[in-house]
């Protein structure tokens, strides 16, 4: 892709777009062009990119979650012309006319900020225009996309939006030369300040259009797809509610040496996703309970219990934070009992040799056999050694699950590099290879391996959900699957070492 090096348009340059006035003699509104860049992406790509940016404003601003589309009508799909929005949308700006352009699509979106404590949502009209007569063969093709925020003054503008009355993106294309340009213009508030920050924002906005447009022209295809299992809006709304209820207290009382903000926000995100996933799975039916294998700091277990989803978690090593949960939030002490120190020894692992190990070295009460009541939802969140075992344990007990892989281990518990994906369209990185490998184990165990890229502050954000089966669980040959993926030799020795180290920790 060519380097982004836009031309800064002179302050006294002729405007790229001219808005028609309603009254004879009235001064035209001053849409001021700021930057222009040559491009090799055509109008179809430009419109596709702009539509994606309209629907996903978070691409341009980390302060925003998403956009909710309140109104969308196009001339192409309407026999009666562009429809006006319903009255419940509120007051909307008058649709402007631009010299030489005809309106093709009329949209209204609501920008949803990440923090509603700092700024409120804001409605914005998004208009897509096309040059009249641009369908004539050989003519210069021009397209225009305009954003009009629903505010009447600079003081009403939220933090996450540039303090301007309007933003316009203009695309010009020569079919004969297969080249064109893209530019950005502002409609400033009358008499308002024009700080350097506004100019930098314009540069950033144009860069996003150029980057995505040139990427499409160069053959880039999106690999990561979000919100396949649960709608984005539902998860983000639940996340916002959970964050406002728990984040400040949890961060302030963090007992671990790790970064509290990362862990708190990440687990709140996962909890929000699970709550919405379970809403779809169980509806008004009783929730069957959950178990978090390798629960670590136990925060996810704690949050889910606070929200009324009863379950428990265990880890090979207890954490300092376990005893602190519930104190600051004044929750029942029973929540703390939902976290236990246990080491998992899956049923396929041979128990031969256990009798020879002294009771002092091996405390049987610290070992769990990996069998759970049928229907219990298994959570495997960055469970490391237990990750490849998750779909196998789920098949043994006939339990749905979610698995979020992190570090790569085989069935023996040893570190290893998973083989590259057979699908050459997928990346062959270590993490992508691990995700593909455990997804294949999932499918071999008879589960439909649904995948979701979670919106969490971690690069290890791929989730595999097993909630649907292909065939009866009794038909799965667990032993054959375990052998196919390397067997369990050495797993028992790893467990014994963990138990010994746990005993030493307890003595000290």
Encode pLDDT of 407-421 as tens digits: 999 999 999 999 988
Average pLDDT over residues 180-199: 90
User: Residue 1 falls within a domain, yes or no?
Assistant: no
Angle formed at CA 252 by CA 251 and CA 257, multiple of 5 degrees: 65
What is the pLDDT, as a whole number, of residue 26?
63
The Cα 228–Cα 307 span in angstroms is: 24
Predicted TM-score (pTM) of this structure: 0.84
User: Residue 223 falls within a domain, yes or no?
Assistant: no
| Residue partners of 495: CB distance under 8 A and separation at least 6 | 343, 345, 349, 367, 413
Distance of CA 471 to the CA centre of its chain: 31
User: Residue 446 falls within a domain, yes or no?
Assistant: yes
User: Residue 170 falls within a domain, yes or no?
Assistant: yes
208 and 237 housed in the same domain: no
- Work out how many domains the chain is built from and give that number: 2
**pLDDT class for 45, splitting at 50, 70, 90?**
very high
Average pLDDT over residues 99-104: 93
In the chain, helix, strand, coil percent, each to 5? 30, 20, 45
- Count other C-beta atoms under 10 Å from residue 331's C-beta: 14
The Cα 277–Cα 260 span in angstroms is: 25
User: Residue 212 falls within a domain, yes or no?
Assistant: yes
Q: What is residue 367's three-state secondary structure?
A: strand
Of the candidates 282, 330, 345, the residue with the CA atom closest to the CA atom of residue 309 = 282
340 and 457 housed in the same domain: yes
207 and 298 housed in the same domain: no
217, 252, 270 — which closes off a domain?
217
E strands, 75-151, are 101-113, 122-131, 141-149
| Residue partners of 191: CB distance under 8 A and separation at least 6 | none
What is the pLDDT, as a whole number, of residue 104?
94
185, 217, 249 — which closes off a domain?
217
246 and 184 housed in the same domain: no
245 and 175 housed in the same domain: no
- Count other C-beta atoms under 10 Å from residue 479's C-beta: 10
492 has a pLDDT exceeding 90: no
Q: What is the CATH number of the domain that holds 64?
A: 3.30.530
Average pLDDT over residues 80-98: 80
User: Residue 225 falls within a domain, yes or no?
Assistant: no
Q: Can you give the residue range of the structural domain that contains 447?
A: 232-507
213 and 237 housed in the same domain: no
Between residues 325 and 359, which one has the greater pLDDT?
Answer: 325
**pLDDT class for 226, splitting at 50, 70, 90?**
confident
What is the pLDDT, as a whole number, of residue 428?
79
What single-letter DSSP state applies at residue 247?
A: I
Strand 367-368 and strand 343-344: pairing?
parallel
Helices (H), 283-377: 299-306
Angle formed at CA 175 by CA 169 and CA 180, multiple of 5 degrees: 35
**pLDDT class for 507, splitting at 50, 70, 90?**
very low
330 and 377 housed in the same domain: yes
E strands, 345-430, are 367-368, 377-381, 401-404
Q: What is the CATH number of the domain that holds 399?
A: 3.40.50
166, 190, 217 — which closes off a domain?
217
489: left (phi over 0), alpha (psi -120 to 50) or beta: beta
208 and 251 housed in the same domain: no
Contact 124, 151 (CB under 8 A): no
- Count other C-beta atoms under 10 Å from residue 65's C-beta: 24
248 and 200 housed in the same domain: no
Between residues 297 and 79, which one has the greater pLDDT?
Answer: 297
224 has a pLDDT exceeding 60: yes
Between residues 218 and 282, which one has the greater pLDDT?
Answer: 282
428 and 388 housed in the same domain: yes
Question: pLDDT (tens digit, 9 = 90+) per residue, 14-44?
Answer: 898 899 876 555 667 889 999 999 999 999 9
172 and 272 housed in the same domain: no
User: Residue 120 falls within a domain, yes or no?
Assistant: yes
Of the candidates 267, 260, 261, 482, the residue with the CA atom closest to the CA atom of residue 393 = 482
Contact 42, 50 (CB under 8 A): no
User: Residue 2 falls within a domain, yes or no?
Assistant: no
Of the candidates 47, 77, 211, 76, the residue with the CA atom closest to the CA atom of residue 143 = 47
293 and 154 housed in the same domain: no
- Whole-number average pLDDT of the chain: 89
């Amino acid at each position: 892709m060519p380097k982004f090096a836009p031309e800064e348009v002179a302050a006294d340059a002729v405007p790229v777009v001219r808005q028609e006035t309603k009254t004879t003699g009235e001064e035209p509104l001053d849409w001021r062009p700021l930057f222009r860049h040559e491009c090799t992406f055509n109008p179809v790509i430009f419109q596709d990119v702009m539509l994606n940016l309209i629907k996903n404003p978070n691409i341009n601003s980390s302060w925003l979650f998403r956009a909710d589309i309140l109104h969308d009508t196009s001339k192409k799909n309407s026999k009666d012309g562009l429809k006006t929005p319903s009255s419940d949308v509120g007051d909307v700006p008058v649709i402007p006319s631009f010299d030489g352009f005809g309106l093709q699509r009329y949209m209204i979106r609501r920008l949803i900020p990440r923090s509603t404590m700092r700024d409120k949502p804001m409605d914005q009209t998004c208009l897509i225009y096309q040059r009249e007569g641009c369908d004539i063969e050989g003519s210069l093709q021009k397209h225009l996309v305009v954003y009009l925020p629903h505010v009447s003054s600079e003081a009403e503008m939220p933090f996450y939006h540039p303090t301007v009355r309007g933003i316009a993106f203009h695309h010009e294309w020569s079919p004969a030369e297969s080249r064109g340009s893209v530019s950005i213009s502002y409609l400033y508030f009358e008499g308002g300040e024009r700080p350097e920050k506004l100019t930098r924002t314009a540069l950033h906005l144009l860069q996003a259009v150029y980057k995505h447009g040139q990427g499409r022209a160069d053959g880039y295809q999106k690999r990561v797809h979000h919100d396949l299992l649960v709608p984005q809006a539902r998860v983000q709304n639940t996340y916002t509610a959970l964050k406002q209820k728990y984040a400040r207290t949890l961060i302030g009382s963090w007992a671990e040496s790790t970064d509290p903000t990362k862990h708190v926000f990440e687990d709140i995100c996962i909890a929000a996703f699970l709550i919405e996933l379970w809403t779809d799975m169980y509806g008004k039916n009783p929730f069957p309970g959950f178990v978090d294998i390798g629960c670590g700091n136990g925060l996810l277990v704690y949050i889910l219990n606070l929200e009324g989803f009863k379950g428990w978690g265990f880890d090979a090593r207890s954490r300092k934070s376990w005893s602190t949960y519930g104190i600051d939030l004044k929750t029942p002490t029973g929540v703390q009992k939902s976290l236990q120190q246990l080491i998992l020894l899956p049923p396929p692992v041979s128990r031969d040799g256990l009798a020879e190990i002294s009771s002092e070295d091996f405390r049987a009460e610290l070992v769990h056999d990996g069998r759970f009541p049928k229907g219990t939802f298994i959570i495997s969140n960055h469970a490391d050694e237990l990750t490849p075992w998750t779909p196998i344990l789920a098949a043994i007990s006939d339990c749905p699950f979610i698995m979020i892989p992190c570090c790569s281990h085989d069935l023996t518990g040893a570190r290893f590099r998973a083989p590259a994906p057979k699908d050459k369209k997928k990346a062959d990185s270590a993490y992508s290879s691990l995700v593909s490998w455990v997804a294949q184990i999932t499918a071999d165990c008879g589960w439909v391996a649904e995948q979701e890229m979670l919106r969490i502050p971690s690069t290890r954000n791929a989730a595999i959900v097993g909630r649907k089966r292909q065939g009866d669980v009794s038909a799965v040959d667990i032993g054959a699957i375990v052998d196919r993926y390397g067997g369990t030799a050495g797993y028992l020795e790893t467990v014994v070492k963990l138990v010994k180290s746990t005993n030493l920790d307890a003595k000290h």
